[in-house]
Structure 1
Amino acid sequence: MASKSKNPIWAFLASVKLALLLIALLASTSIIGTVIEQNQTPEHYVQHRGEAVASVIQALNLGDMYNSTWFLCLLGAFSLNLIVCSLDRIPTVIKIVRKDNLATNPDRLAKMKLSKEEKIPGTLETAKKEVMQYLHEKGWKTDSRDKEYGTLFFSQKGPWTRYGVYVVHLSILIILLGAVIGSPTVATKILDNREFAFKGGISLPETAQSDFIFSYADEKKIPLDFTVRCNYFDIHYYPGTSMPKDYLSSLTVIEDGKEVLTTTIEVNKPLIYKGITFYQSSYNQIGAAIIKLRETNSGNVHVFPVDPQNYSVTNTWQEGETDAMIRIQSARQTQMPNGQASTEMKIWLMDSDGPPSMFPLMYGSPVIVERPNAKYELTIGPHFATGLQVAKDPGVWWVYTGCALMLIGLYMAFFMSHRKVWAHVYERDGQPMVLFAGHANKNTLGFSKTFSSLTQGFKKPQNNRA
C-alpha cells in the first residue's frame, strides 16, 4: 500500500497550494457578501441592482451568501484541507518532541552555534553534581545518561509550543463548526428543524406584541417560545436637522402571561433571551399619533396610541403604588408660528394624589405636569414601528471558544519556543570539563542571551571559589 506521502489524493488534500487557493476563494467571496446587502427582499435587489444582477443574486443566493449551500461547501473543503494538512505533518512534530535528546553524540555539541566549554575544579564526580545542581537552580530540570567519556545532562522547556500551529488549526475548525451549527441552511436542509437556527425580523409597532418573527430565507413565520412587546420607540435627531442621531426601543419579554424582562435596545446593544438575539435595525412611521408620558423622577415611560375616531378613550397606568389615568378631552386644528398646521389637544390627567390636571398639548411640543407625588413630561408625536432583526445562533459559543483557542495557539506559535540545553561533563588530561550547548527553534537571538547568561552564571561561582 502506498504511503500517505506518495498517495496523490492525500498529497493534494494536504497541499499548501490548495489551502492558499481556498483562502483566496473564501476572502474574495466574503468581499462579495460585504458589497451586496444581505437578507434583503428580491424587490430590493431589483430596485438597487437591476433585474439582470438581481437574477444572478437570486440564482447564487448571494443575498444570504454566508448561509448558501455553495459557501458552506467551500468551508467544508477548507476544513478537510486543514485536517489532512495537520494529520500529514503532526507525526513529524511528535517525533521531534519525543526525541531522545540524550542519544545526541557529544561531539555534535561543540559544533552547535550556541556552545561554551568551561573547566571545573575538583573531581569528575563533584563536577557532575555541581553541574546538575546549577542547572536545577536555574530552572532547568535535567535528565542524564553516562557516556563513554563522561555524563551527558539534558533539559528542555516548552516542547509543547511546537503544537501551537496545530492549536490554531483546531481553533479554525471549531470556529467553522460554530458557523455551520448556527447556519439556518443546515437547520432547515440537514436537521429539518428551522427553529434550531434562524435569521429573520419583524416590524413591531409601539405598544404591540408578537410571539413570532418572519424568516429572511422564505418569509415564513417562525414561532418564539415567548412574546416580545415594544413598549415605546424613541428617536433623537442631530440639532437643526432631520437626520437620526440615535434610536432605541424599550422591549418587554412576556412568558406564560408574566413579564419576565424589560430592557432598552439600540444599535450594537441587543436583547438576548433564551439564545435568541433581538437587534435594533430600523424603524418606520405608521401614521397615527401617540402620546408618550415620562415620569421624570423614576424615568418610567408610558405610551398611549391616539385613536382619531375615538379621542375620549381613557388610558390607565400605575406609577409606583399610585393608579393614574389620562384622556383626551378634545382636539382642534391649529396653526403653528411657522405656518404649518398642527393639532392641539386638551388633556385630562388624574391620579390618586389630588384633583385632576387639565392642560393643552400640541403636536411636537412637550408639556410638564406636576402632581403632588409625581412629575410628568408629556409629548405627542408620530407613531413608530421598530424594525427588529432576530437571530438564533447556537454555534456562537463554539465561535467564541475557537477565537479564545486561536489566541492561545498564536501566542504559542509566535511568542514561545522550544528551548534545549545540554551539558556534557568529562575529563581532559585529568581536568574535569563541562561543555554547554543550546538550541531553540524560534527567537534564537533571545535564547542566545539566555544561554550566555546561563554559562556566565556558572563561571562566576568558580571564580569566587578560586
Structure 2
Amino acid sequence: MKEHQEGAVDKIWRIFSSMKLGLVLLGVIAFFSGVGTLFPQADVDPDKAQAVGKIWQDLGFTHLYSTYWFRLILGFLCINLIVCSIQRFQGIYNRTFKLQPPKNRTNIPKKIQETWKGDSESLRNSVQKVLRSRGFKVIFEENDKQWSYIAIKRRWGNWGSFITHLSFVVLVVGAFIGSSMGFKGFLMAGVGTTVPIHSIQVSHGTVKENFDVLINSAEDRFLANGQRDNWYTDLSILENGKVMARHTISVNHPFTYQGVTFYQSSFINGVHLTADIKGQKVPVILEDRGGNYFQAPGTDLYLVASAITSDPQKPSMLFEVFKGMSENAVQSGQLDFGQTIDIQGAYKLTLDGNSGFTGLQVKQDPGVMVIWLGCALLLLGLILSFYWRSILVTGIFQAEQGNQGEITMGVSTGKVVGGVKEVFDRLVREIRAK
C-alpha cells in the first residue's frame, strides 16, 4: 500500500514537473484571456455584460478572471512553476556556491574550447591574474601531475530564470488575494447624488466599509482647440454626514480612501431640472438617451430625456413622457434652458442647465503590495537573465615532461554563444600573452 502511494505521488510530481504542461497551461490561459477581451466584463461595463447571451454569462465569460475554472488553471500553472523551481534549485545553488574544478578533460565544455602547451607555473600565474583582473572568482585544485580550476563571473545571473518563475507565482497569489479578500464594483451617479458604498454594483467580493460617496460635480472638459481634455469628478467621502475627505479624480488619476480606490471610467451627459409639484420644488437629474427616468410622486407618468445637447452655453433636451406601461409617449417635445412647460397637468418642469453622470470603478485590492513585489521580482529576474548572465570558465593542466605540459580551457555557453565566445577568446589571448 505504501509503495502504491509513493508511486502515485511520484507520478503526480512528474506530471507537474513537465515543461510541456507549463507551456500548455500558458497557451490555455492566453487563449481564454484573449476570449475575455471579446466579451464585455461585468466589472468594467455592467450594462453591456448584462446584454450578452445568458449561456455565456453562465459559463463565466462576462466575469472571466474571477471564475473558479480560470483560477483553477492559474493554480495548476503555479504548482507547475513551483515544482519545476524546486527541481532546479539544487542545481542552481551548486552552480553558484559549490563549484568544483574539473577532474579530467572530459569535464571541460567542448563547444568552446582551446588547448595549448606551456610552463605549469607561468600558466597558473597567468590564469589567476587574468581571470581575477576580469572579475572572476577562481577556485584551484592541484595534485602531483596536474592542476585544474573553475572561475565564475556574475554568479547571481544563474538565478535569473528561477526568480522570473517565482515572480509569476507571486503575481498569481497577489491577484488571488485581491479577488478573494477585496472587491470590485461600479457606480453611475449624477451630480448631487449621495451613494452608500455598500450599495454599489459589485462584480465580485463583498463591501465591508460603511461610508457614503457624494458626487459634488462631474465634468467632461474640452480644450480650447476642441479636443477632449479629460473627465473630472469632484467627490466627497461622508461618515455619519460629516465630510472626511474630498478629492477630484480623472482618468489615470484615482483616489484612495481606507483602502478603497475610485477610478474614473466613464461619463454621460445629463440635465438638471426642477419639477414644481403643487408648489413643492423637486430637483430632477436625467441621463442622456433615456438612461434613467423621473416618476412624479402620486402619478404613473414617466419622464425621460431622449437627447441632450452638451453645449453648456445653450442647454437643451428632447423629452418624452410615458403613461403607465404604454410604449407610446403621451407627450414629447424640446425644452430649452430656463423654459418651463406643463407635464400632463400634473406638474411643471423647468430646465436649469447641464449636469453630468459619472461612472466610477470602485476597487479594494489587499493583494496590490504582493503584486508590486511580483513585478519587482519579474524585473529583477529579467535583468539577471538578459543583462547579467553568469560566465563559467574551466580549465585543466596536465604535465607531460617536467614543468611543461598542456592546458585545456573551455567556457559554458548555456543558450547564448555569441557574446560568451568573444569574452572567452579575449581571455585566452590575454592568458597566452602573459
The alignment's TM-score, normalised by the length of structure 1, stands at: 0.66
Bigger shift: residues 380-389 or 2-11: 2-11
Is residue 453 of structure 1 aligned with residue 407 of structure 2? no
5 Å-filtered alignment, 1:51-66, equals 54-66=53-65
Is residue 280 of structure 1 aligned with residue 274 of structure 2? no
The aligned residue for residue 375 of structure 2 is: 403
Aligned residues: 368
The aligned residue for residue 224 of structure 1 is: 209
Residue 208 of structure 1 deviates from its aligned partner by 3.4
User: Which of the residues 32, 35, 52 maps onto 2:35?
Assistant: 32
The aligned residue for residue 233 of structure 2 is: 249
CA distances 1:314-353 after superposition (whole Å, capped 9, x unpaired): xxxxxxxxxxxxxxxxxxxxxx8x9x863459xxxxxxxx
Is residue 10 of structure 1 aligned with residue 13 of structure 2? yes
Alignment CA distance shift 1:151-1:256 (3 Å): farther
CA distances 1:155-187 after superposition (whole Å, capped 9, x unpaired): 11234433322212211111111111111xx34
The aligned residue for residue 165 of structure 2 is: 169
Secondary structure at the aligned position of 2:197 is classed as: strand
Residue 61 of structure 1 deviates from its aligned partner by 2.7
Q: Which amino acid aligns with 1:246?
A: N
Q: Which amino acid aligns with 1:157?
A: K
The aligned residue for residue 384 of structure 1 is: 356
Secondary structure at the aligned position of 1:250 is classed as: strand
Secondary structure at the aligned position of 2:148 is classed as: strand
The aligned residue for residue 254 of structure 2 is: 270
Alignment CA distance shift 1:428-1:392 (3 Å): same
Secondary structure at the aligned position of 2:199 is classed as: strand
Secondary structure at the aligned position of 1:279 is classed as: strand
Q: Which amino acid aligns with 1:390?
A: V
CA distances 1:47-83 after superposition (whole Å, capped 9, x unpaired): x44xxxx221232232212112222122112222222
Alignment CA distance shift 1:43-1:134 (3 Å): closer
Secondary structure at the aligned position of 1:438 is classed as: strand
Q: Distance in 1 between matches of 2:366 and 2:158?
A: 32
Residue 133 of structure 1 deviates from its aligned partner by 3.4
Is residue 235 of structure 1 aligned with residue 223 of structure 2? no
5 Å-filtered alignment, 1:41-120, equals 44-45=48-49, 48-49=51-52, 54-97=53-96, 100-106=99-105, 109=108, 113-117=112-116, 119-120=118-119
Q: Distance in 1 between matches of 2:400 and 2:27?
A: 60
Whether the aligned pair in 2 keeps the contact of 1:161 and 1:412 (CA below 8 Å) is yes
Secondary structure at the aligned position of 1:182 is classed as: helix
Q: Distance in 1 between matches of 2:135 and 2:217?
A: 64
5 Å-filtered alignment, 1:236-385, equals 236=221, 246-254=230-238, 259-285=243-269, 287-289=271-273, 342-344=336-338, 381-385=353-357
Q: Distance in 1 between matches of 2:125 and 2:40?
A: 72
Whether the aligned pair in 1 keeps the contact of 2:220 and 2:230 (CA below 8 Å) is yes
Q: Which amino acid aligns with 1:253?
A: I
Whether the aligned pair in 2 keeps the contact of 1:5 and 1:11 (CA below 8 Å) is no
Secondary structure at the aligned position of 1:101 is classed as: coil
The alignment's TM-score, normalised by the length of structure 2, stands at: 0.71
Whether the aligned pair in 1 keeps the contact of 2:271 and 2:353 (CA below 8 Å) is no
User: Which of the residues 148, 153, 162 maps onto 1:152?
Assistant: 148
Alignment CA distance shift 1:147-1:210 (3 Å): same
Alignment CA distance shift 1:4-1:245 (3 Å): farther
The aligned residue for residue 331 of structure 1 is: none
Q: Distance in 2 between matches of 1:279 and 1:56?
A: 30
Residue 11 of structure 1 deviates from its aligned partner by 2.0
Alignment CA distance shift 1:27-1:141 (3 Å): closer
Secondary structure at the aligned position of 2:42 is classed as: coil
Residue 307 of structure 1 deviates from its aligned partner by 7.4
Alignment CA distance shift 1:28-1:214 (3 Å): farther
**Structure 2 unaligned residues grouped into runs of 5+:** 284-313, 317-333, 340-349
Whether the aligned pair in 2 keeps the contact of 1:267 and 1:279 (CA below 8 Å) is yes
Residue 23 of structure 1 deviates from its aligned partner by 1.9
Q: Distance in 1 between matches of 2:72 and 2:37?
A: 19
Q: Which amino acid aligns with 2:41?
A: Q
Whether the aligned pair in 2 keeps the contact of 1:417 and 1:443 (CA below 8 Å) is no
Secondary structure at the aligned position of 2:370 is classed as: helix
Alignment CA distance shift 1:128-1:20 (3 Å): closer
The aligned residue for residue 133 of structure 2 is: 137
Whether the aligned pair in 1 keeps the contact of 2:237 and 2:244 (CA below 8 Å) is yes
**Structure 1 unaligned residues grouped into runs of 5+:** 188-196, 290-305, 314-335, 346-362, 365-379, 462-466
Secondary structure at the aligned position of 1:63 is classed as: coil
Residue 244 of structure 1 deviates from its aligned partner by 6.8
